[in-house]
Amino acid sequence: MRPAWLEVNFDALAHNFNLLRAAAGQVQVIGVVKANAYGHGAVEVGKELLRLGAWGLAVATTAEARELRRAGIVARILLMGSLHPQEAQDVVELDLIPSLSTLEAAEALNALGRPLAVHLEFDTGMGRVGFQPEEARMVRERFAHYENLLIQGIYSHFADAEEDEPWTKEQIERFQYVQQVFGPGYFYHLCNTAGVVNYGQYGLSAVRPGIGLYGLLPNLGLRPIARLLAKPTQVKQLPAGRRIGYGGLYTTQGPEWIATLPVGYADGMPRLVFNRATVRYFRAESLEPCVCPVVGRVSMDQITVRLPEPVGLEQVFEVATPDFDPHSSLWGWAELTGSVSYEPAVRLAARLPRVYVRAGEEVARVEPFG
C-alpha cells in the first residue's frame, strides 16, 4: 500500500450521527454521501450510515448512485439537485428517488411508464432549484395527472442556517405554506447540518446532514472522522542555505532535518498552505505531539517538513489531524485558504487509499482504482 492514506474513524461517524439525530428530535436521517461522502469514500461510509440506521442515502449525480448500487447497496437513494429530463432513464435503471423541480423532468419520468416514488423540491429562498411555493397548488394538481409518479417526499434547502436567522425563519414559513397546501402524509425534510444544529425543532420527517456527519464544523461537539496519514519516503540533513521545493520558497537556516512526505496537492492538500501548515507525529510513549512545519511549496505529490530530530521511514505523520487545529486539519486548511471545510474534504483525492476503523480495528480497506 502506498505510504500515504486516509484513515476514517467509524466511531467518530457514529458519534456525529447520533449527536445530529438527537439534535433533530430522533427523526430519520438521510445520510448525504455526495462527492464521495465529502471525500471520505461513499461506499464504505454509506454502508456504515445504513448500519447506524439511516433512512437512506443522498447523492448529487446518477454516477454517484451507480457506484453505490454496484457496491451492492439496495437502500433508498435520493438523487438531489434538479433532475434533468435526460437523466430520467438512469433514475429508473438505478431505482433512485429523484428530486423534481420542473414539470419537464416530471413528464419525462412519467412517460417511461414505470411507477416511481419522487420527492418534490421547493425553493424557499435559496434561488437555485425547486418549484416556487406560490406554485404549490398548481404543482399538486399537475402531479395528480402523472399516473406513474407517486409523491413520497417534499423538501427544501436552507441558504444560511449558520448565520442568517431572519432569512432562515422566512424559509421555514414558506415551507410551512407548502406543507399546508399538500397536507399530512408526506415525508417532509428541510434541515442540512446547520439547520439541524440551529433549528432542530424543524426536523419534520427527516434531516439531511452532510458536513456534520464528517465532523467538520467546530464548537458543536462534532468530531472530524478522518486523518490523512503518511510515512516519510526520505529523511535527510541539509546544511544551511539550501533552498527547498519549487521556487525555493524556503531556505534552511542551519543544518536541518528534512523529511519528504508523499502527499501533495493532487491528494487534496491545498497548494497555498506552504510555509504555514504543520504536520505532526508522536514519539514513542509520548502524548505530546511533535509539530513540524511544512517548508517550501506543496508539490503535486510531495511535501517537505522540518523535523527536530531524525526519524525512521516507519514513522507515521498526521498530515491532517482529526481536530480543528488551525494549521493541520481540514478545517484549518480551509481557514488558511479562505474557504470552508467542505472544500478540502471533497478534494481528498480518489488516489488515496482509505482505511476504515471501528473500535480500534481495521474493518475495511479500499485501494484506489482497485
Which residues of this chain interact with ligand PLP, rule CB under 6 A? 32, 34, 80, 157, 192-194, 208-212
Active site residue 281: no
Q: Closer CB to ligand PLP, residue 109 or residue 194?
A: 194
Nearest approach, Cβ of residue 29 and ligand PLP (Å): 11
Nearest approach, Cβ of residue 342 and ligand PLP (Å): 7
Tell me what percent of the chain is helix, strand and coil, each rounded to the nearest 5: 30, 25, 45
Nearest approach, Cβ of residue 209 and ligand PLP (Å): 5
Q: Closer CB to ligand PLP, residue 80 or residue 277?
A: 80
Q: Closer CB to ligand PLP, residue 121 or residue 318?
A: 121
Longest dimension (CA), the chain: 78
Catalytic residue (choose from 34, 47, 146, 356):
34
Nearest approach, Cβ of residue 95 and ligand PLP (Å): 20
Q: Closer CB to ligand PLP, residue 190 or residue 279?
A: 190
Q: Closer CB to ligand PLP, residue 40 or residue 157?
A: 157
Strands (E), the chain: 4-9, 28-32, 56-59, 77-79, 97-100, 116-121, 149-155, 187-189, 206-207, 226-230, 234-238, 243-244, 250-251, 256-261, 278-282, 289-293, 303-307, 317-320, 354-358, 361-366
Strands (E), 202-330: 206-207, 226-230, 234-238, 243-244, 250-251, 256-261, 278-282, 289-293, 303-307, 317-320
Nearest approach, Cβ of residue 272 and ligand PLP (Å): 23
Helix (H) or strand (E) holding 43: helix 42-51
Q: Where are the alpha helices (DSSP H) in 151-261?
A: 165-182, 193-199
| Sign of the alpha-carbon dihedral angle for 88, 89, 90, 94 | positive
Catalytic residue (choose from 47, 188, 246, 281):
246
Nearest approach, Cβ of residue 162 and ligand PLP (Å): 9
Question: Rg for the chain (alpha carbons), in Å?
Answer: 23
| Sign of the alpha-carbon dihedral angle for 339, 78, 322, 7 | negative
- CA distances to 194, 230, 298 from 176, in Å: 19, 49, 49
End-to-end Cα spacing for the chain: 11
Q: Closer CB to ligand PLP, residue 211 or residue 259?
A: 211
Nearest approach, Cβ of residue 220 and ligand PLP (Å): 12
Active site residue 34: yes
Which among 224, 219, 225 is positioned nearest to 197, based on CA atoms? 219
Residues 6+ apart with CB under 8 A from 67: 42, 43
Q: Closer CB to ligand PLP, residue 34 or residue 223?
A: 34
Between the CA atoms of 208, 210, 215 and 216, what dihedral angle is there, to the nearest 10 degrees? -130
Q: Is 111 left (phi over 0), alpha (psi -120 to 50) or beta?
A: alpha
- Catalogue the active-site residues: 34, 246
